[in-house]
Amino acid sequence: MKIYIGLVSLLLSSHAVFAAEINQKSSQAEQVGYSFGYLMGRSNAETLKGMDLDAFSKGLKAASRGEKATLTDEQMATILTQFKRQNEAKELIELKQKAENNTKIGQAFLAENAKKPEIKTTKSGLQYQVIQAGQGKTPKANSRVKVHYEGRLIDGTVFDSSIARQQPVEFGTSQVIMGWTEGLQLMKEGAKYRFFIPAELAYGQIGSGDVIEPNSTLIFDVELIEVLKN
């Protein structure tokens, strides 16, 4: 659980419950308390969902005043463990639902995309579009390459872009997701391709980071700048 208490006593400098709006005209203690509470709540919004915030406040105040807890340490540990497990179970259900939805959305998108005359589909299910043909060498599975790329979801959300950073990247052809490994070996130096990558050739049921959800179909614009010497 991501609750970092730290300087909780700053929240408890007054016994009053402040109904009035806190602003720059409020006392320093009120502004500090509000600021700390707001920032803590914002950074822990997911964890605080389903929690009784009035009871949370009572616990903070009692502890800061040195009052005896109404629950034993063992009881608190048990209930917090149960709460954590419930949240984890709920998250797993939500992830499963997202994965199922993303599978349906991705399959429908790829099926429609495959109908376009400029789109080619390989045996693995990888789809690609040749934006610009290349003239140079073609990488192999054990090659190192230098590329520019931009990755986005099928709704257009960009999640990574070396183009925006104006900094191409170098890596081994087999050190990336399977869709890239296959797709790069279709290209020649100087080529620009657009890859439409099914989830099973990308990050699958795990997803990646906060943006790429489980079973997400991905789109990458890739420019093969150079096949490097190993």
Which positions are catalytic?
149, 159-160, 177, 203, 220
The number of C-alpha atoms within 13 Å of 80 and in the hemisphere containing its C-beta is 13
d(CA 1, CA 46): 9
DSSP structure class, residue 173? G
* SS3 state of residue 122: coil
d(CA 228, CA 230): 6
The number of C-alpha atoms within 13 Å of 14 and in the hemisphere containing its C-beta is 13
Q: How far is CA 185 from the centre of its chain?
A: 28
Instruction: Give residue 139's identity as a one-letter amino acid code.
Output: P
Query: CB-based contacts of 229: which residues, under 8 Å, 6+ apart?
Result: 144
